[in-house]
Amino acid sequence: MNSTSHDRLLIIDFGSQVTQLIARRLRELNVYCEIHPYQNVTDAFLQSFAPKAVIFSGGPASVIDDGSPRPPESVFALGVPILGICYGQQVMMEMLGGRVERGHGTAEFGRAFVTPSTTALPLLDGWFANEKEQVWMSHGDHVSAIAPGFDVFGTSPNAPYAITADISRNFYAVQFHPEVHHTPNGAKLYENFIRLAGFGGDWTMGAYREEAIRKIRETVGDAKVICGLSGGVDSSVAAVLIHEAIGDQLTCVFVNNGLLRKNEAEDVVKMFRDNYNMPLIYADEQELFLGELDGQSDPETKRKIIGRLFIDVFQKHAKEVGGAKFLAQGTLYPDVIESVSFSGGPSVTIKSHHNVGGLPAKMGLKLVEPLRELFKDEVRALGRELGLPAAFIARHPFPGPGLAIRCPGEITRAKLDILREADAVYIDQIRKHGLYDEIWQAFVAILPVRTVGVMGDGRTYDFACALRAVTSVDGMTADYYPFTHEFLGETATRIINEVAGINRVTYDITSKPPGTIEWE
């Protein structure tokens, strides 16, 4: 099970919306961690994972309810530091002999202030810059009696046990969420926690590169590998890394599925042929993909069709290169979490990312996914470590299912052509205004609705489109980009003037959550 030789921290997920942020905070501190839903964390799992420390996440359940989520009792006997957050704090208290009560009148949501006790706690070293510290609370129930061995180190008006600890066992429990932005000094708690747990900060991109290359060689041996190259950062970094590990045992396949952006196929193939000396097949499969998508409008059906066809195409080329045994993909950690862990865990399936949830059960090719443990910004750091061109690393993400998920409803060639043109004008505008690097991802979605307009003296009846631009750190949460009105007005005018088929432009100002970045 252990996929890394680094010190590991285990985050047991009880379904909080912000569990991913705990992982982010820890990765920023060069600590390797994994999130696992509580149902999967058994005694045997704990033994084989051998964490150096454990964090219990928050979650929506109440420990008072029958059958509420619990970690196995054996976690407390591992002899490693444990930090319980919000629900994680309550479950820890309950299991260790304290008491939790329903929060009649004592619920706290949002900003609160914690005051420290007079006794010092190493977890809080350097934390209380002021007499009280702002934290983010989100709880209904509250701890009404702490477990034997615990002492109180911080209180808030509605949480008398805001920070408690059993110092002798290295167990810490906080009612608030130190991982969120609204707990401004929260990162300090994690820094102290991992120091107390003895982590050496060994999770660096240099170390990762060496280890990934060794693992790829071990996994692949002398077999051939094909890599689905999309021209995005992830698959490109995966390809360069694997090429460094196994040289020309690797063949890249760039699939033109008819769902690419304007000039994308030409640009990507040229970039790779000019910069990298690796075997690259250009597969023109536009008819295949667009034919099968014809008449389909359900988002999950579209994703599954595209996922299946990609695999069919890769299998065909695997044979052609003399029997490749492995398929390499640029799958990232958030893809894995959003498609798999959420559905297996306490939360729900959001969507099947084509390179995870959409793969057929029987495929005849084994997967090599050397980026499966990384967040997007870590992939970019690895790309820099591998010497990929800076402009290439800075490219906005582009999803595997491509324009299909930016064309809600039925996909037609005519709509795709319109979408490609509108998207090109929009990105050109963003670049001209020097905004490209400030934005995590920007694109146009063509809406399945036509609207009436007037141009010159004539009536128009054309498609409406939505512009999307978001800021984000890792794609897990996102906010809309605050363009100026001038920018939006100028862009709308350009799109309507330059793109035949669109007569109305809207700007999507939904954050994630509650929206997702893509429209499907």
Active site residues: 86, 177, 179
Instruction: State the Cα–Cα distance between residues 20 and 23, nearest whole angstrom.
Output: 5
* Closer residue to ligand XMP, CB minimum distance, 81 or 330: 330
User: Which residues inside 148-207 make contact with ligand XMP, applying CB under 6 A?
Assistant: none
Q: How far is the CB of 389 from ligand XMP (least distance, A)?
A: 21
Which of 354, 406, 415, 468: binder of ligand XMP (CB under 6 A)?
A: 354
Rule CB under 6 A: say whether 517 interacts with ligand XMP: yes
- Binders in 366-425 for ligand XMP, by CB under 6 A: 397, 399-401
Binding to ligand XMP by residue 516, rule CB under 6 A? yes
Calpha distance 318→325 (Å, rounded): 7
Site for ligand XMP in 65-124 (CB under 6 A): none
CB 122 within 8 A of CB 196: yes
Q: Is 518 in the site for ligand XMP (CB under 6 A)?
A: yes
Residue 475 touching ligand XMP (CB under 6 A): yes
Pairing label, strands 133-139, 142-145: unpaired
> By CB under 6 A, is residue 261 in contact with ligand XMP?
no
452 bridge partner residues: 461
| Measured distance CA(9)–CA(403) in Å, rounded | 38
Per rule CB under 6 A, is residue 353 in the interface with ligand XMP?
Answer: yes
Residue with smaller CB distance to ligand XMP, 91 or 242: 242
Closest residue by Cα to residue 201 from 52, 30, 327, 351: 30
Question: Which range in 278-286, 366-374, 481-489, 512-520 contacts ligand XMP by CB under 6 A?
Answer: 512-520
Nearer to ligand XMP, 191 or 369 (CB): 369
HEC profile of 342-369? HHHCCCCCCCCCCCCCCCCCCCCCEEEC
Chain center to CA of 260: 22
**Distance of closest approach, residue 337 Cβ to ligand XMP, in angstroms:** 11
Give the nearest distance from C-beta 397 to ligand XMP in angstroms. Answer: 4
- Which ranges of 366-412 does DSSP label H, i.e. alpha helix? 376-385, 390-393
Residue with tokens 């045997």: 44
Q: Which two tokens stand for residue 166?
A: 């059993």
Size of the site for ligand XMP (CB under 6 A): 14
186 vs 141: CA distance, rounded Å: 22
Query: Minimum distance from CB of 516 to ligand XMP (Å)?
Result: 3
Q: Is the CB of residue 139 less than 8 Å from the CB of residue 107?
A: yes
Tell me the closest approach of the beta carbon of residue 425 to ligand XMP, in angstroms.
20
Q: Hey, what amino acid is at 20?
A: Q
| Structural element, H or E, at residue 428 | helix 413-432
Residue from 355, 429, 491, 503 touching ligand XMP (CB under 6 A): that is: 355
- Residue 178 or 401 having the CB closest to ligand XMP: 401
Q: Which of 186, 183, 174, 154 is nearest to 28 (CA)?
A: 186
Query: Given candidates 25, 351, 415, 420, which one binds ligand XMP under the rule CB under 6 A?
Result: 351
Residues that bind ligand XMP (CB under 6 A): 351, 353-355, 397, 399-401, 441, 475, 512, 516-518
